[in-house]
Amino acid sequence: NAGVTQTPKFQVLKTGQSMTLQCAQDMNHEYMSWYRQDPGMGLRLIHYSVGAGITDQGEVPNGYNVSRSTTEDFPLRLLSAAPSQTSVYFCASADARWAQYFGPGTRLLVL
Amino acid sequence: DAKTTQPNSMESNEEEPVHLPCNHSTISGTDYIHWYRQLPSQGPEYVIHGLTSNVNNRMASLAIAEDRKSSTLILHRATLRDAAVYYCIPTNAGGTSYGKLTFGQGTILTVHP
């Protein structure tokens, strides 16, 4: 199993640009989520999904959209990038015991 | 969400046991106690979790106090690869909070050769 994969690994955007961060898992997990981690801080939940077609907001959802059309994929869309969205983004999926498995992260720099 | 208190940092020598404490005095009866760690420049990694009884797996042991207000993650023989930030996270496995991890500052573990 590849586990949780994320692309790209690193991205530079200009303010106002949009982009999609990709996340995929091959463990058939129903629950998936997105977190962001700012320098020196813990992770904060952006959005989560309990299954295909079902998404909900986390702690810091503003400026981000998600959709879940398949069990495997959970993309995160930045609608109009802002410097405050410079961060490291982690995707995760959870197994039936609620152990969560995180991807390697996407480092985003917004200029 | 239950509040947690962990030491900011701890140090250990390689091949010695490490006991990482966590206080979670406001934990609810349905909260599981999860432990994750984050190695430098990597995503968090699941370590172990439990509800009431002590738990063991290949990575670590989790000792939970009888009143559940505190727990201790035990690394039996620390290696250099165990140097990471360790997060103790009470998590409600039901209702609208399930699956949501609230990360605090964690404990930075340094392992000396």
Q: Do B46 and A31 touch (CB under 8 A)?
A: no
Q: Do A45 and B101 touch (CB under 8 A)?
A: yes
Query: Does position B58 have pLDDT exceeding 60, yes or no?
Result: yes
Q: Do A97 and B103 touch (CB under 8 A)?
A: no
Identify whether the C-beta of residue B73 lies closer than 8 Å to the C-beta of residue B10: no
CA B85 to chain A, closest CA, distance in angstroms equals 10
Give strand pairing partners of A49. Answer: A32
CA A105 to chain B, closest CA, distance in angstroms equals 6
Residue A90's alpha-carbon distances to A52, B59, B113, in angstroms, are 19, 23, 31
Phi, psi (5° rounding) for residue A38?
-90, 160
Q: Do B43 and A102 touch (CB under 8 A)?
A: yes
Q: What is the pLDDT of residue B97?
A: 60
Question: Nearest CB to A104: which of B34, B42, B101?
Answer: B42
Is A63 an interface residue toward B (CB < 8 Å)? no
3-state secondary structure of A55: strand
DSSP state of A82: -
What residues of chain B have any CB closer than 8 angstroms to a CB in chain A?
Answer: 32, 34, 36, 42-46, 49, 87, 91, 93, 98-106
Query: A79-102, pLDDT tens digit by residue?
Result: 999 999 999 999 999 988 888 999
Mean pLDDT of A8-37: 96
C-alpha to C-alpha distance for A50 and B101, rounded to whole angstroms: 14
Residue in B closest to A4 by C-alpha: B43
CA A54 to chain B, closest CA, distance in angstroms equals 13
3-state secondary structure of A45: strand
Local confidence band at B93 (pLDDT 50, 70, 90 cut-offs):
low
CB contacts, 8 Å: A103 with chain B: 43
Residues 6+ apart with CB under 8 A from B22: B4, B5, B6, B33, B35, B70, B71, B72, B73, B88
Mean pLDDT of A46-58: 93
3-state secondary structure of A1: coil
Query: B62-89, pLDDT tens digit by residue?
Result: 999 999 999 999 999 999 999 999 999 9
